[in-house]
Structure 1
Protein backbone atom coordinates (compact mmCIF):
# COMPACT_ATOMS: atom_id res chain seq x y z
CA UNK A 1 0.00 0.00 0.00
CA UNK A 2 1.35 3.42 -0.97
CA UNK A 3 1.55 5.98 1.80
CA UNK A 4 -0.07 9.38 1.47
CA UNK A 5 2.34 12.14 0.46
CA UNK A 6 0.43 14.52 2.77
CA UNK A 7 1.00 12.28 5.80
CA UNK A 8 4.64 11.66 4.85
CA UNK A 9 5.31 15.40 4.54
CA UNK A 10 3.58 16.21 7.84
CA UNK A 11 5.61 13.58 9.72
CA UNK A 12 8.87 14.86 8.25
CA UNK A 13 7.98 18.50 8.96
CA UNK A 14 7.06 17.73 12.57
CA UNK A 15 10.30 15.78 13.12
CA UNK A 16 12.36 18.55 11.52
CA UNK A 17 10.74 21.33 13.56
CA UNK A 18 11.03 19.42 16.85
CA UNK A 19 14.75 18.92 16.18
CA UNK A 20 15.18 22.69 16.51
CA UNK A 21 15.84 23.51 20.17
CA UNK A 22 14.96 27.18 19.63
CA UNK A 23 11.51 26.35 18.27
CA UNK A 24 10.82 23.84 21.05
CA UNK A 25 11.92 26.38 23.67
CA UNK A 26 9.78 29.15 22.12
CA UNK A 27 6.77 26.80 22.16
CA UNK A 28 7.46 25.70 25.74
CA UNK A 29 7.67 22.06 24.65
CA UNK A 30 6.96 19.76 21.72
CA UNK A 31 3.66 21.48 20.89
CA UNK A 32 2.95 20.68 17.25
CA UNK A 33 -0.54 19.24 16.67
CA UNK A 34 -2.89 17.99 13.97
CA UNK A 35 -5.78 19.71 15.75
CA UNK A 36 -6.05 22.29 18.51
CA UNK A 37 -5.64 20.66 21.91
CA UNK A 38 -8.63 21.08 24.22
CA UNK A 39 -6.63 22.33 27.17
CA UNK A 40 -3.33 23.15 25.51
CA UNK A 41 -1.55 26.32 26.47
CA UNK A 42 -0.47 28.46 23.51
CA UNK A 43 1.77 29.11 21.81
CA UNK A 44 1.61 26.03 19.63
CA UNK A 45 1.80 25.02 15.98
CA UNK A 46 -1.05 23.38 14.11
CA UNK A 47 -1.12 21.58 10.81
CA UNK A 48 -3.95 23.40 9.05
CA UNK A 49 -5.42 22.85 5.59
CA UNK A 50 -3.65 20.93 2.86
CA UNK A 51 -4.21 20.71 -0.87
CA UNK A 52 -2.68 18.05 -3.07
CA UNK A 53 -2.59 17.86 -6.85
CA UNK A 54 -1.18 15.35 -9.25
CA UNK A 55 2.33 16.29 -10.30
CA UNK A 56 3.17 13.16 -12.25
CA UNK A 57 5.53 13.05 -15.18
CA UNK A 58 5.65 10.38 -17.83
CA UNK A 59 8.37 8.49 -15.99
CA UNK A 60 7.26 9.01 -12.36
CA UNK A 61 4.26 9.63 -10.11
CA UNK A 62 4.36 12.79 -8.07
CA UNK A 63 2.33 15.22 -6.00
CA UNK A 64 2.29 18.95 -5.47
CA UNK A 65 1.09 20.04 -2.05
CA UNK A 66 0.12 23.34 -0.54
CA UNK A 67 0.58 22.85 3.20
CA UNK A 68 -0.65 25.33 5.79
CA UNK A 69 0.94 25.59 9.22
CA UNK A 70 -0.52 27.91 11.84
CA UNK A 71 1.09 29.40 14.93
CA UNK A 72 -1.37 30.30 17.67
CA UNK A 73 -0.62 32.57 20.61
CA UNK A 74 -2.61 34.28 23.35
CA UNK A 75 -0.08 37.08 23.81
CA UNK A 76 -1.29 40.62 23.16
CA UNK A 77 -0.34 41.64 19.66
CA UNK A 78 1.07 39.38 17.03
CA UNK A 79 4.73 39.61 18.01
CA UNK A 80 5.08 36.18 19.62
CA UNK A 81 3.20 34.43 16.82
CA UNK A 82 5.10 36.30 14.10
CA UNK A 83 8.48 35.54 15.66
CA UNK A 84 7.60 31.85 15.94
CA UNK A 85 6.32 31.82 12.38
CA UNK A 86 9.59 33.30 11.15
CA UNK A 87 11.51 30.59 12.99
CA UNK A 88 9.36 27.96 11.23
CA UNK A 89 9.87 29.58 7.82
CA UNK A 90 13.62 29.80 8.38
CA UNK A 91 13.75 26.12 9.37
CA UNK A 92 11.51 24.75 6.59
CA UNK A 93 12.14 26.85 3.49
CA UNK A 94 14.16 24.62 1.12
CA UNK A 95 14.78 22.07 3.90
CA UNK A 96 16.09 18.69 2.70
CA UNK A 97 13.52 16.51 4.47
CA UNK A 98 13.47 12.72 4.32
CA UNK A 99 9.93 11.40 3.69
CA UNK A 100 8.69 7.83 4.18
CA UNK A 101 7.76 6.36 0.78
CA UNK A 102 8.41 9.59 -1.12
CA UNK A 103 11.23 11.80 -2.31
CA UNK A 104 10.97 15.50 -1.55
CA UNK A 105 11.88 17.47 -4.65
CA UNK A 106 11.30 20.95 -3.28
CA UNK A 107 9.81 22.69 -0.24
CA UNK A 108 9.31 26.46 -0.43
CA UNK A 109 7.68 29.12 1.68
CA UNK A 110 4.84 30.82 -0.26
CA UNK A 111 3.00 33.28 1.99
CA UNK A 112 2.00 34.33 5.49
CA UNK A 113 -1.34 35.61 6.82
CA UNK A 114 -2.15 37.08 10.25
CA UNK A 115 -5.51 37.24 12.07
CA UNK A 116 -7.15 37.43 15.42
CA UNK A 117 -10.12 35.28 16.33
CA UNK A 118 -13.45 37.03 16.96
CA UNK A 119 -13.02 36.98 20.72
CA UNK A 120 -9.58 38.56 20.37
CA UNK A 121 -8.11 35.81 22.54
CA UNK A 122 -5.97 34.10 19.90
CA UNK A 123 -3.49 35.57 17.46
CA UNK A 124 -3.00 33.26 14.48
CA UNK A 125 -0.26 33.37 11.87
CA UNK A 126 -0.76 30.96 8.98
CA UNK A 127 2.11 30.07 6.69
CA UNK A 128 1.71 28.38 3.31
CA UNK A 129 4.40 26.13 1.87
CA UNK A 130 4.54 24.45 -1.53
CA UNK A 131 6.06 20.99 -1.70
CA UNK A 132 6.66 18.73 -4.65
CA UNK A 133 7.26 15.03 -4.09
CA UNK A 134 7.70 11.83 -6.06
CA UNK A 135 6.56 8.38 -5.02
CA UNK A 136 9.39 5.90 -4.43
Structure 2
Protein backbone atom coordinates (compact mmCIF):
# COMPACT_ATOMS: atom_id res chain seq x y z
CA UNK A 1 0.00 0.00 0.00
CA UNK A 2 2.78 2.46 0.80
CA UNK A 3 4.05 2.36 -2.79
CA UNK A 4 0.58 3.44 -4.00
CA UNK A 5 0.59 6.30 -1.47
CA UNK A 6 4.05 7.45 -2.55
CA UNK A 7 3.17 7.19 -6.25
CA UNK A 8 0.01 9.28 -5.80
CA UNK A 9 1.85 11.88 -3.68
CA UNK A 10 4.54 12.26 -6.34
CA UNK A 11 1.96 12.68 -9.11
CA UNK A 12 0.01 15.25 -7.06
CA UNK A 13 3.23 17.12 -6.26
CA UNK A 14 4.21 17.24 -9.94
CA UNK A 15 0.73 18.35 -11.06
CA UNK A 16 0.53 21.17 -8.53
CA UNK A 17 4.11 22.34 -9.12
CA UNK A 18 3.34 22.61 -12.85
CA UNK A 19 0.06 24.50 -12.39
CA UNK A 20 0.65 28.07 -13.64
CA UNK A 21 -2.32 29.61 -11.81
CA UNK A 22 -1.32 28.09 -8.47
CA UNK A 23 2.33 29.06 -8.96
CA UNK A 24 1.29 32.63 -9.83
CA UNK A 25 -0.73 32.84 -6.62
CA UNK A 26 1.62 31.22 -4.07
CA UNK A 27 4.99 31.17 -5.87
CA UNK A 28 7.25 28.37 -7.03
CA UNK A 29 8.54 25.73 -4.61
CA UNK A 30 5.65 26.18 -2.16
CA UNK A 31 4.36 22.56 -2.13
CA UNK A 32 6.01 20.44 0.55
CA UNK A 33 5.97 16.89 1.88
CA UNK A 34 6.57 18.24 5.39
CA UNK A 35 5.81 21.66 6.85
CA UNK A 36 8.74 24.05 6.41
CA UNK A 37 10.03 25.94 9.45
CA UNK A 38 9.10 29.60 9.84
CA UNK A 39 7.44 29.75 6.42
CA UNK A 40 5.87 32.99 5.28
CA UNK A 41 3.08 33.34 2.77
CA UNK A 42 0.80 30.60 1.53
CA UNK A 43 2.18 27.08 1.14
CA UNK A 44 0.81 23.55 0.68
CA UNK A 45 1.69 20.46 2.72
CA UNK A 46 0.74 16.85 2.09
CA UNK A 47 -1.51 15.79 4.97
CA UNK A 48 -2.93 12.57 6.32
CA UNK A 49 -3.60 9.55 4.12
CA UNK A 50 -5.95 6.70 4.95
CA UNK A 51 -5.32 3.77 2.57
CA UNK A 52 -7.43 0.62 2.20
CA UNK A 53 -7.22 -2.50 0.08
CA UNK A 54 -9.25 -2.18 -3.11
CA UNK A 55 -8.10 -5.38 -4.79
CA UNK A 56 -10.26 -7.54 -7.01
CA UNK A 57 -9.88 -11.27 -7.55
CA UNK A 58 -7.22 -10.68 -10.18
CA UNK A 59 -5.85 -7.14 -9.67
CA UNK A 60 -4.24 -5.33 -6.75
CA UNK A 61 -5.73 -1.98 -5.86
CA UNK A 62 -5.75 0.75 -3.25
CA UNK A 63 -8.37 3.26 -2.16
CA UNK A 64 -6.96 6.39 -0.51
CA UNK A 65 -8.46 9.30 1.36
CA UNK A 66 -5.81 11.98 0.85
CA UNK A 67 -5.51 15.38 2.52
CA UNK A 68 -3.64 18.46 1.37
CA UNK A 69 -3.32 21.38 3.77
CA UNK A 70 -3.00 24.95 2.52
CA UNK A 71 -1.42 27.13 5.21
CA UNK A 72 -1.69 30.90 5.36
CA UNK A 73 1.65 31.55 7.03
CA UNK A 74 2.68 34.86 8.52
CA UNK A 75 1.83 37.84 6.30
CA UNK A 76 -0.95 36.02 4.42
CA UNK A 77 -4.70 35.64 4.88
CA UNK A 78 -7.45 33.04 5.01
CA UNK A 79 -8.71 34.49 1.71
CA UNK A 80 -5.40 33.65 0.01
CA UNK A 81 -5.48 30.11 1.45
CA UNK A 82 -9.05 29.64 0.18
CA UNK A 83 -8.07 30.91 -3.28
CA UNK A 84 -5.14 28.48 -3.39
CA UNK A 85 -7.40 25.64 -2.20
CA UNK A 86 -9.86 26.38 -5.02
CA UNK A 87 -7.04 26.20 -7.57
CA UNK A 88 -5.85 22.90 -6.11
CA UNK A 89 -9.32 21.40 -6.37
CA UNK A 90 -9.56 22.62 -9.97
CA UNK A 91 -6.16 21.11 -10.81
CA UNK A 92 -6.74 17.73 -9.17
CA UNK A 93 -10.46 16.89 -9.26
CA UNK A 94 -10.86 14.10 -11.82
CA UNK A 95 -7.33 14.75 -13.13
CA UNK A 96 -5.73 12.02 -15.29
CA UNK A 97 -2.49 11.77 -13.31
CA UNK A 98 0.28 9.38 -14.36
CA UNK A 99 1.56 7.30 -11.44
CA UNK A 100 4.72 5.23 -11.36
CA UNK A 101 3.83 1.54 -11.00
CA UNK A 102 0.10 2.22 -10.66
CA UNK A 103 -2.86 3.34 -12.72
CA UNK A 104 -5.15 6.03 -11.35
CA UNK A 105 -8.77 4.97 -11.70
CA UNK A 106 -10.16 8.20 -10.30
CA UNK A 107 -9.33 11.16 -8.08
CA UNK A 108 -12.31 13.08 -6.72
CA UNK A 109 -12.59 16.08 -4.42
CA UNK A 110 -14.51 15.23 -1.25
CA UNK A 111 -14.38 18.31 1.02
CA UNK A 112 -12.60 21.50 2.04
CA UNK A 113 -12.48 22.92 5.57
CA UNK A 114 -11.20 26.33 6.69
CA UNK A 115 -9.95 26.53 10.28
CA UNK A 116 -7.42 28.34 12.46
CA UNK A 117 -4.50 26.79 14.28
CA UNK A 118 -5.14 27.47 17.97
CA UNK A 119 -1.67 28.44 19.14
CA UNK A 120 -0.55 30.90 16.44
CA UNK A 121 -3.95 31.68 14.93
CA UNK A 122 -2.80 30.86 11.40
CA UNK A 123 -5.56 30.01 8.94
CA UNK A 124 -5.43 26.73 7.04
CA UNK A 125 -7.63 24.86 4.58
CA UNK A 126 -7.72 21.07 4.62
CA UNK A 127 -8.72 19.63 1.25
CA UNK A 128 -9.72 15.98 1.04
CA UNK A 129 -9.70 13.78 -2.04
CA UNK A 130 -10.59 10.13 -2.66
CA UNK A 131 -8.36 8.21 -5.04
CA UNK A 132 -8.53 4.67 -6.37
CA UNK A 133 -5.47 3.07 -7.97
CA UNK A 134 -4.57 -0.29 -9.48
CA UNK A 135 -1.16 -1.87 -9.34
CA UNK A 136 0.45 -2.30 -12.76
TM-score (norm 2): 0.93
Shift of 1:25: 1.7
**What residue number does 1:4 align with?**
3
CA distance in 2, matches of 1:121, 1:41: 14
Return closer, same or farther for 1:110/1:47 CA change in 2, 3 Å cut-off. Answer: same
Return closer, same or farther for 1:6/1:119 CA change in 2, 3 Å cut-off. Answer: same
Long gaps (5+) in structure 2 = none
Residue correspondence of structure 1 range 123-134 to structure 2 within 5 A: 123-134=123-134
Shift of 1:120: 4.6
TM-score (norm 1): 0.93
**What residue number does 1:21 align with?**
20
- 1:36-89 alpha-carbon deviations (Å, 9 max, x no partner): 101322310000000100000112000000000010003565211111000000
Return closer, same or farther for 1:3/1:95 CA change in 2, 3 Å cut-off. Answer: same
Task: Answer yes or no: is the 8 Å Cα contact 2:42–2:76 preserved in 1.
Answer: no
**What residue number does 1:57 align with?**
56
CA distance in 1, matches of 2:92, 2:61: 20
**What residue number does 1:48 align with?**
47
**What residue number does 2:103 align with?**
103
Long gaps (5+) in structure 1 = none
Task: Answer yes or no: is the 8 Å Cα contact 1:3–1:101 preserved in 2.
Answer: no
Residue correspondence of structure 1 range 111-126 to structure 2 within 5 A: 111-126=111-126
